[in-house]
Structure 1
C-alpha cells in the first residue's frame, strides 16, 4: 500500500477525529494523578476505537467508483482491514485503561467498573460489541489458518451486530450524539447497501463462449443482456456464475480482471484454475447466466502522462495488460511508448502470446517481449536493460503471482525506481 495520502485518506482522517474533537472539551486534558490520566486514555481510545469500527464498515460499501479516491479497491480493503484491527486494539486498551484507573480506589472498584450490575445496560452493550468483534475477527488471525473465503464473507453480518451494539454503547454515554449518528449511518448504511441493495444491482450477462487458452486456463466471453458495464483497461469485476451444473462456486462472487478493450461490446475475462470456483468455471456451460458487479480499480489510472510505460505481467496476471493492449489495438491513443514484458514459465504458459505479438506488429509505440523462466531463470537487471534500457525512467506496472511481484519490487527498488512509479494490485480477500 502506498504511503502517499490520497483524497479518500484525508476524508477518513477527518471523520475519525470528528467525535474526538467534539468530545475533547468534556474530557479535559491527560494531566493529574495516574488514575485521571488512565481515565483520559481509556475514553480517548474508546472514542477512536469505535470511530474506526464504524469507518471500517463505511469503506466496505464497494460502490463502483467509490474506491478511486482511495487508490483502488485493493488499497481500500487494506484500509478496511487495518481500521478493523486497530479498532480492536483500541477497544481492548479502552477497557484496560478504565479498569486500571479504578485500581487505586480498590480492586473491587476496578472489577465493578468493568463488570457493573446488569442494570448498567450501556456498559454491557459495549461488552457485547467486543464479543461480536472477537467472533468476526478470530478467523482472520494467522494461527487459525487461511479462512474460507465465502464463510468469512458471511461473517460480515456479525460485524454489523458489533457496529450496532457499539453505536448503542456510545449513544447512551456520549454528551454529543450527532457525530455518532453520522458515523453510524455511514457504517451501518454501507453494510445494508452491501448485503441488501447491491446484489440486486448486478448486471446480467450470458456466457457466449469459453475459449481454451492453455491447460487449466480459459477466457470467458460474456454477452450483456442489457446495457452492460462500462470499464477502463486494467479494471476488474466480481463475477457470480449461475450455471446449475457447476461443481462449485454457483452464486458465489469472485474478483476477476477484465481482459477486453473498453470498446469491445463483449466482456472478456481470463480465468486460471486456482481454486474450486475457478476450476469449475473452466467448464461453465455456454448460454448460462452470470452476474457482474463493477467495475473496480484504477490500475492504469495512477500514472504521470509524460512518462513511457513498462508493463510486467506473469501468469494469469497478464490479463490487465491484454486489456490494455486490446485497447491500443482498438484505436485508443497511447500516451507515450509502452513496453510489455511477458514473464511465463515457457511458451505453453504464455496464454495470449500470439495475439500480443500481432498487436505489437501493427500498433506503433507498443513493444512486446517474452521472458521464459525455464530457459532464462528469474528476471534480472541485465534482461531489463537489454530489452528496455530506460526502464528506470518509466512508469512500471506489475501483475502476476505474489512471488514474482515481490521479486520485481525488490529488483526495481534496487535500481533506484521510486515506489510511487511502481504500480500493482493484489486481490487477496477482495
Structure 2
C-alpha cells in the first residue's frame, strides 16, 4: 500500500513558528467584498401617473377659473367655454407627447403597451376638446359680431394665430384617422410614422395660438409657466428619443454577432457590444431595434429579449411575419445595430406571490423564456404553459426543457389548433394543470386574441386581475 509519506510526489512541510507547531499556519486571504447589488430602475407607478395628470388638469381648470368673469351674456358664455376647452386641449396635447417621450421611469413603471392605449384614448379626448373649442369660439364670435357662422369663420381665420391653430387641428385629425385600427392596418409603418410626426408640428402651432389668447397672454406668470411646461416636454422628447439612442449607439457599438435558425421561419439574433450591462436590461423587457441595412434602417422594430444579458451579448428571437421580420433572417454578422431601451414592465418587479405561472402563446414565449430562467423560486414555484398549434411551432424547446430540468420547474406544451374541440386554456383545463392557480401571479404574453381569451379564462378560474401581468409588444 502506498501511504501519503511514501508517495513520490509528497514533500513534508517544514515546521513553522506558531503557537501550535504541529499545525501549519494558513495564510489568511483578505475578505472578498460582496458584489454591489444592481441599482434598481426608477419606476413611476401607474396610480401616481394618473394622479399627476389629474392634478395638472385641475391646475388648468383653476387657471381658467381665476380669469373667468361671470356673465349671463350668451357671447361671454360661449367664450368662457371656448377658453376652458382650449386650455384643456393644449394641456392634453402635452400629456400625449409626454406619454410617448419614452421616459424610462414611466415606461418601466406603467408599461409601453398601457402607455400606448392611454395615448390612443387620450387622443380621442383631445380631438373632442379641440372640436368643442372651435365650435364654442365660432358661436361666441358670431353672437358677438351679429354675423352668420360662415362670415364669422372667415373673420376668425384672418387672424394668424387662429389660422395656425386650424392647420394644427388638421394635422391632429390626420393623425387620429391614420391611428384607427382599420386604417393603420392598410398603411406601411413608415407612412403611419411620418403622419404621426405631424403631431409635433401641430403642438407647436397650437402653442403659438395659445400664447396669443387671453388666458395665457393675460399675465406674465401664466405665460411663463405655460412656456416652461412646453419647453420641459420638448426637452424630454429630444433627450430620450434622439440624444439617448445616439449616445448609446456610440457608447456600446452594437453589432450583429450571429443569426441562428431556431425552427421554421424563426431565428435568434445575437447582438454584441461594449458595456452592454450598463443598459440595465431586465428579463421580460424589450428594445426597439434599428438594423442599419437596406430595408430595415428606417424602422425601429420592438423585439423582447429571449435570454438574459450575458458576456455583453443581447439575444432576440424573431418569427417571420412580415417584410421586416423576413429581412431580419438575412442579417449578416457585423451589421451595426441601434437599440433604444430597455422598455416594458413585464419584469420580476411585478411579482407579488411566491408561485408564478408563465403563460405563453406562439412567439410570445421570448420574454417569458428569459423570465423562466431568472425568476427566483424553488422547485415547483415556477410553471410555464406554452400554447402552440403543433410541435413544429414550439420555439426554443430544448432550452425550455433544460431550464425546467435544472430548476425542477413545471413545463407543459399545450398543442392543438385554436379552433379545436378542446380548449387547453379553458378555466377547468388551467386548474387541472395548476391546481392552486388562484394563488399564482400570472405573466402572459402571446397574440392579442389568445391573450384576451386567456385573460378571461384566468379571471373565471379565480385569478384576480391585479395578478395577471401582460404586455402587448405589437402595440408598444
Distance apart, 1:326 and its partner CA: 2.6
Distance apart, 1:64 and its partner CA: 3.2
Question: 1:56 aligned to 85, 92, 96, which one?
Answer: 96
Aligned residue-pair number: 418
- CA distance in 2 between partners of 1:13 and 1:109 (Å): 38
> What is the match of residue 39 of structure 2?
none
| Secondary structure of the structure 1 residue equivalent to 2:350 | coil
Q: Does 1:286 align with 2:333?
A: yes
Per mean C-alpha deviation after superposition, the further-off stretch among 265-274 and 170-179 is 170-179
Residues 266 and 95 of structure 1, relative CA distance in 2, 3 Å threshold = same
> What is the match of residue 31 of structure 2?
none
The answer as to whether partners of 1:55 and 1:183 remain within 8 angstroms in 2 is no
- CA distance in 2 between partners of 1:407 and 1:351 (Å): 21
Distance apart, 1:108 and its partner CA: 1.6
Please give the residue correspondences for 1:82-121 in structure 2 after superposition, counting only pairs within 5 Å.
82-104=121-143, 108=147, 110-111=149-150, 113-116=152-155, 120-121=159-160
The answer as to whether partners of 2:276 and 2:313 remain within 8 angstroms in 1 is no
Greater Rg by CA:
2
Question: 1:124 aligned to 160, 163, 166, which one?
Answer: 163
Q: Does 1:209 align with 2:261?
A: no
Residues 187 and 137 of structure 1, relative CA distance in 2, 3 Å threshold = farther
> What is the match of residue 369 of structure 1?
412
> What is the match of residue 270 of structure 1?
317
Question: 1:230 aligned to 280, 293, 299, which one?
Answer: 280
Per-residue CA distance 1:60-109 (angstroms, 9 max, x = gap): 2113333134x112212222222222111110110112223345556626
Q: Which runs of no fewer than 5 residues in structure 1 stay unpaired?
A: none
- CA distance in 2 between partners of 1:202 and 1:24 (Å): 46
Please give the residue correspondences for 1:313-324 in structure 2 after superposition, counting only pairs within 5 Å.
313-324=360-371
Residues 363 and 144 of structure 1, relative CA distance in 2, 3 Å threshold = closer
- CA distance in 2 between partners of 1:312 and 1:101 (Å): 56
Distance apart, 1:121 and its partner CA: 2.3
Residues 148 and 335 of structure 1, relative CA distance in 2, 3 Å threshold = farther
Q: Does 1:348 align with 2:388?
A: no
> What is the match of residue 8 of structure 2?
none
Residues 84 and 355 of structure 1, relative CA distance in 2, 3 Å threshold = same
Q: Does 1:412 align with 2:452?
A: no
> What is the match of residue 167 of structure 1?
207
Q: Does 1:76 align with 2:115?
A: yes
TM-score (norm 1): 0.88
Q: Which runs of no fewer than 5 residues in structure 2 stay unpaired?
A: 1-44
Q: Does 1:22 align with 2:63?
A: yes
> What is the match of residue 8 of structure 1?
49
> What is the match of residue 243 of structure 1?
293
Distance apart, 1:385 and its partner CA: 1.6
Residues 371 and 117 of structure 1, relative CA distance in 2, 3 Å threshold = closer
- CA distance in 2 between partners of 1:316 and 1:235 (Å): 15
TM-score (norm 2): 0.80
The answer as to whether partners of 2:357 and 2:384 remain within 8 angstroms in 1 is yes
Q: Does 1:137 align with 2:176?
A: yes
Distance apart, 1:259 and its partner CA: 1.0
Distance apart, 1:34 and its partner CA: 4.9
- CA distance in 1 between partners of 2:286 and 2:61 (Å): 37
- CA distance in 1 between partners of 2:378 and 2:335 (Å): 36
The answer as to whether partners of 1:342 and 1:370 remain within 8 angstroms in 2 is yes
